[in-house]
Chain A
Amino acid sequence: MKAHKIFAWLAIAIGAIYFFIPLIGTFEFSLRMRRGAYSFDAYQSVFTDAQFRATFGFSMLMALVTIVVGMLLIVPTAYWVRLRLPQMRPVVEFITLLPLVIPAIVIVFGYLRLYNSSSWIPFTGSTQGTNVLLTFSYVTLALPYMYRSVDTAMRTIDVRTLTEAAEILGAKWPTIMFRCIFPNVMSGVLSGAFITFAIVMGEFTMAALLNRPAFGPYLQLVGANKAYEPSALAVIAFAITWLSMGLIQLVSRFGKLSPSRP
């Protein structure tokens, strides 16, 4: 075996050890709730906890709403930029990257300052209003990933010609958008949706500072007060992320097999 191949395998082994050992340790620890024997007691304790079900359900609902709002915002924007405003592309890319460089805590304090109960738009004045604000903040956080996945999918089709082909056949904007463009960027939309789902399920800062009963703050609460359940929750959170990533892969493969361009 050549030297560079040995180094490549060594690098992979070190990376794998660095990643898997803590994970295996966490999983092993989560099984030791019953003294002297391995068991899934910690998982049972987590799943039977009413607060777990409430926070998990809440975050899941928020994730779904975030995905819908995000897609309704991003797909037409990416489409419009590609079709009519290509010169605005760098500006839009810069804006969509901002949530990666501005910490979530700064964004949420900005929201609280702008939308507090004594402001012109008092989102935090009611529970529903705060939920709406939390959805918007999740959309902001998911923006870099969602925009890129949709934009990449749009790059694989000839948006301009398809639009013109539909237009000359008599189609109006909603028809063009939902029958000709949306189905052809579905793989990108779904990839963005799964990334958004994973982000929302584990997000702590926004939910905690807006005081909403989400899964992220629950993870923190359990971590501060219990011994084995936090490890079980960490493994569950990992499983959700992996499931989302697996689904992205599946969707990407499906996208590759689906109708292509000339």
Chain B
Amino acid sequence: MSFLVLESIKKSFGQTQVVKDFNMSIEKGEFVSFLGPSGCGKTTVLRMIAGFESPSDGAISINGRNQNALKTNQRNIGMVFQAYALFPNMNVFDNVAFGLKVAGKSKTEIETRVKEMLTLIGLDHLADRYPYQMSGGQQQRVALARALAPKPQVLLLDEPLSALDAKIRVSLREEIREIQRRLGITTVFVTHDQEEALSISDRVVVMNAGRADQIGTPSEIYNRPTTRFVASFVGTLNIIEATVVDPAANTVKVGENTIRLRESIGALKGGDKLSIALRPEAGSLLENAKGDTSLTGQVISSHFLGSVIRTKLDVGGNQISFDMFNSPDAVLPQPGETLTLRFNAHDFLIIRD
């Protein structure tokens, strides 16, 4: 049985339903990210796990125990907030010790555990500092230590990196993942940053309008999005309008190019419109590039972006962006030039709404 189970969770505020029939099972020690735009309900689900909000319907259970009737302070959950939420009147030691003191642990136990936690986050030399004397990254690490100190059964991370600058964000997310792996703690991470979610999660839940649009490993989410929303929200994607030529042979037409898809389109008939998608990094302009399919079109624009060259191609009225790695010999395609983009047919994704 899964460790954390969310069963048919619904949540309404007045007339507005913000979470609609949300189902999810998380295994012990798993790191799951809720990814979605603002207002998609990801934080509301997290707050319901924490007990700050009660579900309008459905059940939340941790380790087989229903949590619905339990108050926040009875759930034994750790949480790290976006705004750090360290107690300004307490120093680092007292902040980390807070949960242990509340739990009535002995002085020796508290001292040992706090030291252990501060060593874990590498801030044992700052035990006497107050929050205002520390940087954002340091404060958030203290918040993580505080959340972990009472040995919670689940760790919730509510956009913990969004208030930090880019460099710290990358190093801290790796540190969080490393600590999570070491402690084996079941973790739910809420973010709107796809790179964050894809880089550190075992599984990602892409949420849209109160529902989980897709649940899968980062690779599945990126390479095999199952809905138009997931495809457009995660990474950059070219959505191409194609016309079905022969459903039995899975062939479609894009401009003057006929393509054979790997996925079956047998349910459609000739002349039907179909949305297919292609990642910008999937194609290549090289003559000898591997690939069983090609698209020919005119260059609209081409930009040098440092490590990559991004070119926009017009193929039968569709604008297709593709990236190629920069090399000293690379020549920038010129607008109006005719180019052939080569790729594998399985790189195409059929978009279902």
Contact = CB atoms under 8 A, between A and B. Distances in A.
Given A168-B78, A170-B102, A262 B87 contact: no
B305 interface: no
Interface string A166-183: 111111100100011001
B102 A162 contact: no
B112 interface: no
Interface stretch (B128-136, B227-235, B283-291): B128-136
Contacts of B98: 166, 169, 171
A259 B52 contact: no
B83 A262 contact: yes
A171 B146 CA distance: 13
B79 interface: yes
B190 interface: no
Given A170-B99, A262-B139, A165 B87 contact: yes
Interface residue range, chain A: 20 to 34
B150 A169 contact: yes
Contact of A167 (B72, B89, B136): B72
Contacts of A164: 50, 52, 72, 79, 81, 85
A87 interface: no
Nearest to B75: A168
Contacts of B50: 164, 168
A175 B101 CA distance: 11
B281 to A, nearest CB: 37
A262 B131 CA distance: 8
A117 B194 CA distance: 72
A171 B85 contact: no
B102 A169 contact: yes
A48 interface: no
B85 A158 contact: yes
B102 A158 contact: no
A258 B88 contact: yes
A258 B88 CA distance: 8
A262 B79 contact: no
Contacts of B73: 167-172
Contacts of B77: 168
B123 to A, nearest CB: 16
B342 to A, nearest CB: 50
A225 interface: no
Interface string A140-181: 000000000000000001100110111111111001000110
B150 A165 contact: no
Most chain B beta-carbon neighbours within 10 Å: one of A158, A172, A259, A260: A259
Contacts of A172: 73
A170 B90 CA distance: 17
Nearest to A180: B87
A183 B150 contact: no
B183 interface: no
A103 to B, nearest CB: 40
B163 interface: yes
Nearest to B47: A164
B348 interface: no
A157 B136 CA distance: 16
7 contacts: A165-B79, A165-B86, A168-B78, A168-B79, A170-B103, A171-B73, A183-B89
